[in-house]
Structure 1
């Protein structure tokens, strides 16, 4: 994968640095090194060495005398002594047959003085300034210096080097089919041009986090074998007004130079929010960036082969001008995978892991309803980590089943200390869920029951797994779900005649379903099919807001409470009718701590047959 790098510095930059280093060495370092080899002596010692014939050569300077002496091995030693008023010195040197000379000092070159006094400080000042500017630019999101603030920070992946194709994307067949036309156009644009068809300028990938929107964009580029520009929406937004718009211009300029190519803007809602929802400010940096993006998308010809892909989790917040025909013409949903899709995703990610032959991906897929592609990839990795921890060379079914629970409920808290009284309460609570579910005709089969606490805060849980994929939920199924959630608290009431805080999550989940039945699903006789609530953000949490008056809201609360009370009483009645089975199953769970759905049903049915 090749990424476009910052341009190299000019040659003159390195030349100036080299000259400065040499000058510093000549001016300061080398003289210090030379000085370390020179010994200083008094004038009398100098005269005595002349008389002894040890002095080889002498240099007479204005303020000192330098001379060399040959030692016994013939090596030279350099000495320096102060200059004295000695008229006979020349005669002494001549009589001793010593080579001597007088050094006339030369004035330093005016050019060298100019360089040392003006050029060198200026170069140092510029170098320090460049360093500080680079540091400031890095903290503010800029480039190497102030002149690169307007440059696009898009990563450019050249031909076919995204490393991804449609074979790497599983569980998104409809999205791949919608994007296949773009790939075909980039391969064969003439057949579209001959018939007069215009390829969409842009395609917007929308869906929950972790479903593979970015992966799909890279796969389109990999299939098309064209350059791929990748940038996040947040990289356009800067603290300097106008920098985001400048980067948009630079990005599209680069894209047109490399056409045909694909430009991918991730999290486009960062810069593409509706201009009417931003308050009174109508000329801020974000809006200027959006306006420039709209202008650039109108200004280029799609026939040249520049295709814009964008991804977002919040399509409802995007500006209407961004979604009109001629800009992002096509909206491609990238939803959570269904049962078949989850199984395919698991198999794709399992290709890189050593798996046992008996692994049942369909069973794992059924146990992970609502999981995204990223969640499934994490489950495969967690399974591999557990296999290594257990000392195995390959991943088996138990590793994957445990990894599902790790992702959904957290790791086991094996060292958690729970009193026997609380442990008994938790056991009755979980068996209450399972028993109520088993005694209803519209509940999913029980898959596993455990009272081992998890790091998510759960003290135990009952896992139910549907036999197949369900896309609709009937009123009877919704009521049975609520009743099952009520089963834990109902068991505490039936056995201990008291309640605990252990049902807090059950209450929350049951209330959500009951409220949805009234406000969104039209499952209430009181309100019939009246729309009472709307979902604001379906892909990020599903926050809702009421569409009714306060009086109607109070009636909604009464209706929700009525549903919850009815289901609560039903759960209590089921457990009262099956109290012996409740005791038997709880005793078994307390002993084993974790039991399978098969063990649960075997004990339940055996008890019934007696």
Structure 2
């Protein structure tokens, strides 16, 4: 065939392809140019041509290959092989064995197109075997592939292709842009049967580069409208509805609004598949409503709906995705003189359910929780807002020539708001997120899918809740590390994780450039406690509840436990047939949660005597603590028997600070004061088992004073534990024993002296406890200062 005739034939083929596939003119141009080049190429190869089509889902890669076979005279037959079905190396026989699917098809269709759909999804062993098969001679493979066009398709690199700056770069300098793209693809990973490997084996990627690579852009809204218009026309032409003479084609604005109703994720395949059903349904509704022969059905759009569409631009469509919204169309069907009008009366926005893709994990989500919804944690919120600013302004990081941060871990006790803070952080970034929690974190394939999904919608966040696992779960930290390492600046994905126990997480995962920010979320502060109390005060109450006082009692409770206080108080009022919650009821529920339920006094053998003994025991602790440790505020002193103890002294918030030798010694005295006070009042019966925990604490603190903190004059500044672990367990044993006994004896004598001096106050506190069972910090202060 003459050069001129061939050129004309390819030009005509190009026009036919462009008339049937929309939005991919550049890809069609490249394909036709490459086919023309192949026809004149002197290179000797065992196949007609080898193409790789890269592009997002539903961008027309397989469709273009199908149309090429239909419209071109060169090919008679096409086979599309779904490579996701070949994840086991043993599957290669089914594909390229002597009686496999591929040789069987090629023998029957020697002049054909073979499409390997989603080549990255098959096992790498099969990728290599397939490459070798394609490049094998007729003698080696037993099949003549000289007139076969092979096409690989892949969605790898879609996040890069979608970026406008890359598309501009590709138009300006295709060769350099393609090199950048291949470099990007080479870093892509996949997980098959828990094994992390290259998404496309390097040898095959090299072959792709040496042949023809064509990039498919994501379809713009206008292109999808053209597809919808063609689908609409085809549906009307094929429909043969009895009683309808003619159905008019609608104008563009009608089609555009129809397509918009498929938002927020508008893709060509879904529109092409679902639109005919929608059209037929509308026509049948019109026929049923009219109940008479119809001359004509026409489609119209109201002025109000047209005004709505005027707002639609690229930013509007992007916001639909970010805000998880769709467009609802309101219809009217009217009949006049046997002409039925189907009218779009109104278009309105509405919020979709939380999960946009309910049938396929992982889900794409959009947080609705803000920092204003979370009580307390002022310092943590401030820190998180600083990180948000970095993510939203990457130029700040670029100025210092360091890579963008890739992850953040929020760790701290249960119920302090870690998960809520993570949600609020995500909302502040305005990124979509993909979440994995619980058993999801055990599945390496799901972890990989989460990061792939996030890359598709980048910039985005992968949220890993409870990363330290629970109930013996073994989290595949290596797989998470691999995914984070594979993230590039072009497809920016930030990982947010929460954990109770940071020590349970693999230290390699916590390294810089994986989790760059490690943020401790502490126990809830006074502000947070007041927030929960004010929520409780929305329930019926006597109006006399002291918020400050109850907030002090709540110290140490988690958010879950504080919510439980309100519920338990309400249930108590209902059970007892009372009318309102009181301060006393609230404090009782707090004590139940913190220290256990009250014990039935009938279960105490010598009730009166034991209550008196406990009263002097706790009074001794309280008075000596008030004298020696004035900075540690007492919350309450009680002799109400509970599951945890027959009585106790509890404290309000303690501040983290260095402890002096004097304070440590005073701690020992306070621990001993309970038994010593009881012995003074009850010399014969005061020495009982109730002081076991006190003695354990006193002994441990005396040991630490001597062996750990270097505070003993005889032993000096020696850290004995280091010597015992690394040198000898026998070193200083006798000295430690002697000095611990010395400090216990000294503390005992000093405490006895203090008890003698302040016995009147101990008597007064004990008497008040016997009378009331509990006194709070304010009442104790009044007794001490009276």
Fold-level match, TM-score > 0.5?
A: yes
Distance 1:514 1:388, change over 3 A: farther
Q: CA deviation at 1:315?
A: 2.9
Q: CA deviation at 1:269?
A: 3.5
**SS where residue 461 of structure 2 aligns?**
strand
1:156 and 2:156 are equivalent in the alignment = no
Do 1:486 and 1:507's aligned partners in 2 also have CA atoms closer than 8 Å? yes
Match of 1:226 among 431, 438, 444: 431
**SS where residue 363 of structure 2 aligns?**
strand
Distance 1:153 1:485, change over 3 A: farther
Do 2:411 and 2:501's aligned partners in 1 also have CA atoms closer than 8 Å? yes
Superposition CA RMSD, Å:
4.0
Do 1:342 and 1:376's aligned partners in 2 also have CA atoms closer than 8 Å? no
Match of 1:183 among 381, 388, 402: 388
1:265 and 2:453 are equivalent in the alignment = no
**SS where residue 730 of structure 2 aligns?**
helix
Q: CA deviation at 1:454?
A: 0.8
Map of 2:636 onto structure 1: 448
Map of 1:576 onto structure 2: 756
1:567 and 2:751 are equivalent in the alignment = no
Map of 2:620 onto structure 1: 432
Map of 2:672 onto structure 1: 486
Do 1:186 and 1:305's aligned partners in 2 also have CA atoms closer than 8 Å? no
Q: CA deviation at 1:252?
A: 1.4
Map of 2:589 onto structure 1: 403
Match of 2:694 among 493, 503, 506: 506
Distance 1:472 1:484, change over 3 A: same
**SS where residue 436 of structure 2 aligns?**
strand
Map of 1:301 onto structure 2: 488
Match of 1:476 among 649, 655, 662: 662
Q: C-alpha separation between the residues in 1 aligned to 2:536 and 2:636? A: 29
Q: CA deviation at 1:601?
A: 5.2
Number of residue-to-residue matches in the alignment:
424
**SS where residue 321 of structure 1 aligns?**
coil
Do 2:431 and 2:459's aligned partners in 1 also have CA atoms closer than 8 Å? yes
Q: CA deviation at 1:308?
A: 0.5
**SS where residue 323 of structure 1 aligns?**
coil
Uncovered stretches (5+) of structure 1, i.e. residues with no partner: 1-146, 238-243, 274-284, 535-544
Q: C-alpha separation between the residues in 2 aligned to 1:533 and 1:313? A: 28
Q: CA deviation at 1:426?
A: 1.8
**SS where residue 523 of structure 2 aligns?**
coil
Map of 1:589 onto structure 2: 769
Q: C-alpha separation between the residues in 2 aligned to 1:491 and 1:392? A: 40
Uncovered stretches (5+) of structure 2, i.e. residues with no partner: 1-191, 196-358
Q: Which has the larger radius of gyration?
A: 1
Distance 1:194 1:235, change over 3 A: same
Q: C-alpha separation between the residues in 1 aligned to 2:451 and 2:432? A: 13
Distance 1:267 1:411, change over 3 A: same
Q: How does 1:39-118 map to 2 (within 5 A)?
A: none
Do 1:532 and 1:548's aligned partners in 2 also have CA atoms closer than 8 Å? no
Q: C-alpha separation between the residues in 2 aligned to 1:523 and 1:333? A: 31
Q: CA deviation at 1:224?
A: 2.9
Q: Deviations over 1:238-277 (max 9, x none)?
A: xxxxxx4323222212222232322122333449x9xxxx
**SS where residue 524 of structure 1 aligns?**
coil
Q: CA deviation at 1:353?
A: 4.9
Distance 1:605 1:184, change over 3 A: closer
Q: CA deviation at 1:232?
A: 3.0
Higher relative contact order (CA 8 A, sep 6+): 1
Q: How does 1:268-287 map to 2 (within 5 A)?
A: 268-270=467-469
1:201 and 2:406 are equivalent in the alignment = yes
Do 1:346 and 1:376's aligned partners in 2 also have CA atoms closer than 8 Å? no
Distance 1:477 1:297, change over 3 A: same
Q: Deviations over 1:90-142 (max 9, x none)?
A: xxxxxxxxxxxxxxxxxxxxxxxxxxxxxxxxxxxxxxxxxxxxxxxxxxxxx
Do 1:268 and 1:312's aligned partners in 2 also have CA atoms closer than 8 Å? yes
Q: How does 1:361-372 map to 2 (within 5 A)?
A: 361-372=547-558
